[in-house]
Amino acid sequence: MTITPNDQVRADHLLSMDELAAVIARDIPSGAFVNLGIGQPTKIADHLPAGSGVVLHTENGMLNMGPKAEGDAVDPDLTNAGKVPVTELPGAAYFHHADSFAMMRGGHLDVCVLGAYQVAFDGDLANWTTGKPEDIPAVGGAMDLAIGAKDVYVMMTLFTRSGEPKLVPRCTYPLTGVGCVSRVYTDHGVFDVGPDGVRIRETYGVSAHELAERLGIQLS
Amino acid sequence: MTITPNDQVRADHLLSMDELAAVIARDIPSGAFVNLGIGQPTKIADHLPAGSGVVLHTENGMLNMGPKAEGDAVDPDLTNAGKVPVTELPGAAYFHHADSFAMMRGGHLDVCVLGAYQVAFDGDLANWTTGKPEDIPAVGGAMDLAIGAKDVYVMMTLFTRSGEPKLVPRCTYPLTGVGCVSRVYTDHGVFDVGPDGVRIRETYGVSAHELAERLGIQLS
Amino acid sequence: MSRAEILESTDAAVAGIEDGSTILVGGFGLAGMPFDLIDALIRQGANDLTIVSNNAGNGDVGLAALLAAGRVRKVLCSFPRQADSWVFDGLYREGKIELEVVPQGNLAERMRAAGAGIGAFYCPTAVGTPLAEGKEEREIDGRRYLLEYPIKGDYALIGAHVADAMGNLVYRKTARNFGPVMATAATTTIVQVDEVVEPGKLDPEAVVTPSIYVDRIVQVEARRYTVQGAR
Amino acid sequence: MSRAEILESTDAAVAGIEDGSTILVGGFGLAGMPFDLIDALIRQGANDLTIVSNNAGNGDVGLAALLAAGRVRKVLCSFPRQADSWVFDGLYREGKIELEVVPQGNLAERMRAAGAGIGAFYCPTAVGTPLAEGKEEREIDGRRYLLEYPIKGDYALIGAHVADAMGNLVYRKTARNFGPVMATAATTTIVQVDEVVEPGKLDPEAVVTPSIYVDRIVQVEARRYTVQGAR
């Protein structure tokens, strides 16, 4: 396992999830078709520049989803995958679930951004269940998204509340997908992952060397 | 192979294809969803009684197809599977080819009526190619229709121009489907076919015994 | 299936559903959820049911009420655990209900396969995960796939927006979700709609579920979605 | 695929198609046939093509003209032999073109599989017939099935009725046929339409091909379908 350090520290502090959402929004190519997972990734939509031409997909059956619906615009027949009322932009299209997941699984989305419990250096993803016996398993569309988009990004804090790294040599939580993640955005920095191992792209409030050390990886 | 004779002769002459179409139209249940194959079976539509509620499917992507289009009603974007211009009835629906064939192959049509080169006593069907080296093979939707409808009827003359039976112990032409035909309507009579063998339902201008003899079958 | 029947009441629409049936229930959260048909099913009394639906009930209404009435033996769904799935959670932890977790796309595609006459299909979802256990794996063109089988229903209960008297259906926005797929996968499809119109009133280019897939239709009062305890 | 491009000419729309490409060509007879794109493809000059289409050309126009120009190595289709398929018939009898006959439903479903990420599927069509030769057979729940693989295109050339500037498409009547399926199965989908409108002008409930499947759009003159020699 190699790690390519990049000592260009891009911020003097750890990023908030909102700041991180802005970083991800900046990296999404203009005109891309994108699915934003339930939870933190939803924030990314608020940071997409006007005129970016990014088209949002929601797996419950819609392309060109608009922002959250407020007040009278709330329509219980129009929600995102998190069941939050949303709006429709000009040029939207609705389709049923088999067509929506065919779109995902057929590799037509350019980017999807998911939360995660753990990501492995080789791109394995764990984000659907802790596997604890008392947890009721629930997968939703996570496994379909993991294998579906051309690029799967993860958005997460780099460490758990108790300080354990979530970017790991090998996932200990049950997998969602194998080798499917290509990039990991965290409050401490951004990492490329995959068959060639992990590479630090940029860091926030910490040097790449310090980060490598905390992740327990020897720099080559 | 057994044959159950039924000496109730229903006509004093062999039926024309038009008369046979009327016989088949009479047997199609009210409200049924039906696909009429290219060629002779198309005639059946002209004999469906008003108010029969029969809904016609055409595999190029339509339910509730109306009669042939004439004059100004001809629209090159609206044809049947034989590429003949047709019309649309109130309550029609259009769908693409994958949806149309899913409808057929999923067993949702009640009846389809096909032409045939040969039908075997056990319901095997041969209607897509003679298998002669000089013939260019072309199958269209024949194999999908053969396995798709709840009841597959065949409409054909009982003998070739040279007098060979087309209802045979075993097909010599290449098969379209195995054991898929349930009933055969011919100018000489109507036959049920299937795993229990062939049964004569009614005859036209000929007795069941005479017919059995011409088909080369010993009555039990 | 022959022509759709238009029924006067939801009770007539669910008549005859047998104990032990597999029932496909449409909806994603509240959107497209056939609440009136589920209420009628609770009154009808069928027992020992297998329910196929995206979720396993919200709050104390709809599927949650059917579960609470003890009518359900097994649930196939993608996402049982939600903030307000307390009825299911309780039954599950007490071991009173079986659960098969199916990835959402597989749930949809396996029902499509049932409706389309596909015997089984190779799918890339869940390869290498715990949900691959017991499934046949095959490599095709360098990619790993799992073999998935159809999910067929005895009945589908779905919600749509408008039906014509032939049985053609249109839906509203993301309330479309599982309805069109479930309609193809069930022996008998029962639909609650906001409105029934004469044939010819729906645009044939915009029909989503063609009449061939619809058996029984009942018009219901417009639903207020501000259901206590369900979101 | 990123946002659809709207091009000024059919020549621009077919630019860059490489020799040896597999091209999915929409249409069933004349309905939905992208004549203008095929004419541009003939001018463009790509050679050694594999064409996937329901028929193998009618009369002397469209696909028949592409075949006559000697650009096609192989045809996958369900029904090559027609009253007016003399161009194909001649090439085939002279051994100048390869033919793979595919049942019409398999043609559609195999392209759907390509678009939907399905690795392969078991299908009841053609069991026990000469078209089953070389295919894997499996019995599932007492019924026999053949294993069928996806058909993927490098390009799809299709005809639609109206596009919005995002790339959403609607079709007209039975001219819809293969277009929506082919659009999902090709790396690059090129569409000729009668009209391009602003986003928001198409009813989002009635869009048949969502914009994600469309790469290039060109508006063409309304076609007179009374083509000599083609029906």
Q: Does D121 touch chain B (CB under 8 A)?
A: no
Residues D125 and D212 in one domain: no
Nearest in space to C118 (alpha carbons), one of B180, B153, D141, B112? D141
- Domain around D181: 18-102+151-219
**Closest to D98 measured CA to CA, from D64, D35, D157, D48:** D48
Tell whether the model's pLDDT for residue D201 goes beyond 60: yes
State the DSSP H helix or E strand holding residue D217, giving kind and residue range, or none if neither.
strand D216-219
- Listed by start position, the domains of chain A span 9-215
Q: Is residue C9 part of a domain?
A: no
Q: Do the Cβ atoms of A106 and D114 come within 8 Å? A: yes
Residues listed for chain C: 231
The closest CB to that of D117, out of A90, A91, A106, belongs to: A106
Do D88 and D196 lie in one domain? The reply is yes
Q: What contacts D144, CB < 8 A, 6 or more positions away?
A: B178, D124, D127, D128, D137, D138
The dotted CATH code for B9-215 is: 3.40.1080.10
Q: In what order do the strands lie in the sheet with B125-126?
A: B125-126, B118-120, B167-168
* Neighbour tally for C89: CB within 10 Å: 16
In the predicted model, is pLDDT for residue A99 greater than 70?
yes
Q: What is the pLDDT of residues C74-95, one digit of tens each?
A: 999 999 988 899 999 999 999 9
Residue C225: per-residue pLDDT: 55
Q: Which of C31, C1, C9, C7 is nearest to C155 (CA)?
A: C1
- Chain C contact present for D118, CB below 8 A: yes
Condensed to tens digits (0 to 9), the pLDDT of residues A113-133 reads 999 999 999 999 999 999 998
- Region A6-28 average pLDDT: 89
Q: What is the pLDDT of residue A53?
A: 92
pLDDT tens digit string along C116-139? Answer: 999 999 999 999 999 999 999 999
* Residue pointed to by tokens 């129009």: A78
D32 and D97 in a single domain? The answer is yes
Do chain B and chain A touch with ≥3 beta carbon pairs under 8 Å?
Answer: no
Closest-CA residue of C relative to B90 is: C200
Residue D18: DSSP 8-state = P
**Number of separate domains in chain C:** 2
Q: Do C211 and B91 touch (CB under 8 A)?
A: yes
Q: Do D171 and D78 sit in the same domain of this protein?
A: yes
pLDDT score for D228:
41
Does any CB of chain A come closer than 8 Å to the CB of residue D2? Answer: yes
Question: Is C64 inside a domain boundary?
Answer: yes
Do the domain assignments include residue C2? no
* Model confidence pLDDT, tens digit, residues A190-207: 999 999 899 999 999 999
Averaged pLDDT for residues B63-91:
94
The reported pLDDT for the residue numbered A160 is 97
Taking chain C, what is the end-to-end CA distance rounded to the nearest angstrom? 35
Give the model's pLDDT for residue B219.
59
Tell me, rounded to whole angstroms, the distance of Cα D84 from its chain centroid. Answer: 19
Residue C228's pLDDT band (boundaries 50, 70, 90)?
very low
Name the DSSP letter for residue D173. G
Between chains, do C128 and A60 touch, taking CB under 8 Å as contact?
A: no
Q: Which residue has the tokens 């695929």?
A: D1
Residues C194 and C162 in one domain: yes
Of the candidates D117, D118, D168, the beta carbon closest to that of A93 is on D168
Query: Considering the domain boundaries, does residue C224 fall inside one?
Result: no
Between chains, do A103 and D165 touch, taking CB under 8 Å as contact? no
Q: Tokens representing B152?
A: 């597959």
Closest CA of chain C from D66, distance in Å = 31
Q: Quote the ipTM score.
A: 0.96
Question: Does D110 fall in a domain?
Answer: no
User: Looking at the complex, does the CB of residue C96 fall below 8 Å from at least one CB of chain A?
Assistant: no
Q: What proportions of chain A, in percent to the nearest 5, are helix, strand and coil?
A: 20, 30, 50
Tokens encoding A146: 């993991």
How open is the CA angle D15-D21-D22, to the nearest 5 degrees?
120
Residues of C within 8 A of A130 (CB-CB) are none
D146 & D157 share domain: no
Is the CB of C203 inside 8 Å of chain B's CB atoms? no
Number of continuous H segments (helices) and E segments (strands) in chain A:
4, 14
Annotated active-site residue in B59, B70, B134, B164: B59
Mark whether D92 and D22 lie in a shared domain: yes
The whole-number average pLDDT for the span C1-7 is 82
Instruction: Evaluate whether C165 touches C6 at the Cβ level (below 8 Å).
Output: yes
pLDDT band (50, 70, 90) for residue B6? low
Does the distance separating the beta carbons of C128 and A79 come in below 8 Å?
A: no
Q: Are residues C139 and C177 in the same domain?
A: no
Same domain, D23 and D82: yes
CA dihedral sign, ordered C79, C81, C87, C88:
positive
Whether pLDDT at B75 is above 90: yes
D90-135 pLDDT, tens digit per residue, is 999 999 999 999 999 999 999 999 999 999 999 999 999 999 999 9
Q: Does B63 touch chain C (CB under 8 A)?
A: yes
Residues of A with catalytic function: 59
Contact A176 C129 (CB under 8 A): yes
Q: What is chain D's mean pLDDT, rounded?
A: 95
Q: Do D119 and C113 touch (CB under 8 A)?
A: no
Same domain? D81 vs D167:
yes
- In chain A, what residues touch D199 (CB-CB under 8 Å)? 89-91
Helix (H) or strand (E) holding C180: helix C179-185
Report chain C's mean pLDDT, rounded to a whole number: 95
In a domain, D41, yes or no: yes
Same structural domain for residues C129 and C209? Answer: no
pLDDT surpasses 50 at D231: no
Judge if D191 and D145 occupy the same domain.
no
Those of residues 123-182 in C touching chain B at CB distance below 8 A are: 164-166, 168
Identify whether C175 is part of a domain. Answer: yes
Q: Is C145 on the interface with D (CB under 8 A)?
A: yes
C174:A60 CB<8 A: yes
pLDDT tens digit sequence for C158-177: 999 999 999 999 999 999 99
The predicted pLDDT at position A220 comes to 55
Contact C123 A105 (CB under 8 A): yes
pLDDT at D2 (0 to 100): 61
Domain of D53, CATH number, reads 3.40.1080.10
**Distance separating alpha carbons of residues C55 and C61, to the nearest angstrom:** 13
D122 interface with B at CB cutoff 8 Å: no
Q: What token pair was written down for B119?
A: 């039908």
pTM beyond cutoff 0.90: yes
pLDDT one-digit tens code per residue, B89-123: 999 999 999 999 999 999 999 999 999 999 999 99
Distance from CA of B98 to the nearest CA of C (A): 9
Measured distance CA(A206)–CA(A11) in Å, rounded: 8
State the smallest CA–CA distance between residue C70 and chain D in angstroms: 31
Residue D3 lies in a domain: no
